[in-house]
Each structure stands twice: as C-alpha cells, then as structure tokens.
C-alpha cells in the first residue's frame, strides 16, 4: 500500500492515523487505484481532528498537491477516509486553451463535507487525469455549472456556483470523497497515456481525439 501507515493503521483512531502519516514530513504518498480507501464513502468531518492537527493535515495536503503536481487532492487519496479536500489552480496555459476550457484561476481553498448539484443541463467534455491513476487521461463529460455546498477549515459555510474548469475540479474532488474515480464516467475509448495526449490530443477541445479514436462527445 502506497502510504506511510503501518499494517496496524486500520486499528488506530483517525487522529492517530493522521499523526502517523504526517510524522515523516514532506509530501504525502498518494494512494493509487486499487486501494479500497478510494472506493469507500469518506466519513463526514465532525471535529475528529483537533484544530492544530487539522491545520497540519490541510497544509500537508496542499504541499502534496503542489508537489504532484495537481489542482486538487482529497483526503482519501492519501489514505485518510475523511470528507476533506483541497483545490487550487493557477490556470496556466495558452489563451486559446484557457478560453476553450473555461479555465480560470481557482484560489486555494479547503472543502469540508462538500456536495454539489448541477445548475442547468449543459455538459462539457475534456481530457481529465487523476493523481491516483498516474500516467493516464480520458475524456469525461461533466456538468458545465454546479452549485457547491461545503464548509471551510474554520467551519464557515461555503455556498458557491462554479463554472468551467473550476466546476470540473470541484466535481472531481467531491466525487473522490464518495468513492468515485473519474474513470467511472470516462469515455473509455478515449483512454490515453499522458504521452499520447501530449503528442496527439493537446488541442483545446477533444474533437480530433473523438474522430480519430472513435468515441462520441455529448
């Protein structure tokens, strides 16, 4: 198992498991697909960690996300089944790509017990990857606009509408906390290595990949 926790970790309390995970310092090991923690529903967060430990855990999640690098990371991805995720996207890229994907900067934030619902019927499809499925990407159709409700790390209410790429990020990370990987809803004929995407399918939208690989876009 790709975590720092010992074989007896499942018998520890959640605070003990988090403490052990943080003990070595540095970015945390990311759990890969095939580990049961990625397929379980995360436990709602209700103060299981004291304020200091929660702050350390959130900082470690952010460090790990940056180091990967990625734009989001759920607690389950480091083996901790708590409903906590972090997101942040500086939105690098060419203006053409950013505009086509609706990719705008998403400032760092912590999502505690997040849940989303679609706002409208529009769905948009783009290649998407996951730190827990390293080396691969696939086209996923997601809601273009969602309303997210959550708490932040200080317990303050979050009730916000996200569109474009930020909407994709919060859906992806919230899904993780429900035991869902992006592959569950991906267009499987689009599945490509990162190298293949860079070489062939780096256009702003996936129309060329759909035509060449033989899948239909919504």
Question: Taking the CA atoms of the chain, what radius of gyration do you get in angstroms?
Answer: 17
pLDDT at 171: 98
- Residues 91 and 73: their CA atoms lie apart, in Å, by 16
- Average pLDDT for runs of 10 along the chain of length 218: 46 93 96 98 98 98 98 98 98 95 97 98 98 98 98 97 98 98 98 98 97 96
Kindly list the catalytic residues. Answer: 173
From 77, 85, 84, 81, select the one nearest 43 (Cα to Cα). 81
pLDDT at 87: 98
Residue 116: Cβ-neighbour burial (10 angstroms; 0-12, 13-18, 19+): buried
pLDDT at 218: 87
Sheet containing 84-89, strands listed edge to edge, beginning at the edge strand earlier in sequence: 72-74, 84-89, 106-118, 145-151, 157-163
How distant, in Å, are the alpha carbons of 46, 181, 195 from that of 160?
21, 23, 35
Tell whether residue 130 is among the known ligand binding residues: yes
Q: At the top level of CATH, which class does the domain 9-213 belong to?
A: alpha beta
Cis peptide before 155 (omega within 30 of 0): no
Identify the bridge partners of residue 157 per DSSP, sorted by sequence position.
Answer: 151
Tell whether residue 172 is among the known ligand binding residues: yes
Using CA of residue 92, residue 138, residue 167, residue 69, what is the dihedral sign?
A: negative
From 120, 131, 217, 213, select the one nearest 172 (Cα to Cα). 131
């Amino acid at each position: 198992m790709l975590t720092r926790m010992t074989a007896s970790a499942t018998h520890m309390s959640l605070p003990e498991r988090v403490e052990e995970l943080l003990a070595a310092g540095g970015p945390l090991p990311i759990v890969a697909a095939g580990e049961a923690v990625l397929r379980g529903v995360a436990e709602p967060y209700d103060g299981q960690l004291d304020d200091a430990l929660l702050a350390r855990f959130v900082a470690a999640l952010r460090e790990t996300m940056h180091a990967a690098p990625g734009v989001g990371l759920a607690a389950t991805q480091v083996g901790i089944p708590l409903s906590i995720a972090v997101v942040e996207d500086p939105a690098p890229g060419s203006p053409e790509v950013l505009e086509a994907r609706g990719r705008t900067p998403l400032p760092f934030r912590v999502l505690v017990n997040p849940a989303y619902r679609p706002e409208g019927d529009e769905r948009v499809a783009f290649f998407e990857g996951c730190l827990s499925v390293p080396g691969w990407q696939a086209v996923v159709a997601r809601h273009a606009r969602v309303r997210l409700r959550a708490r932040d790390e200080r317990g303050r209410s979050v009730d916000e509408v996200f569109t474009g790429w930020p909407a994709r990020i919060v859906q992806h990370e919230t899904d993780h906390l429900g035991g869902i990987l992006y592959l569950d809803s991906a267009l499987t004929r689009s599945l490509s290595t990162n190298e293949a995407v860079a070489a062939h399918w780096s256009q702003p939208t996936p129309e060329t990949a759909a035509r060449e690989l033989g899948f239909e876009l919504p």
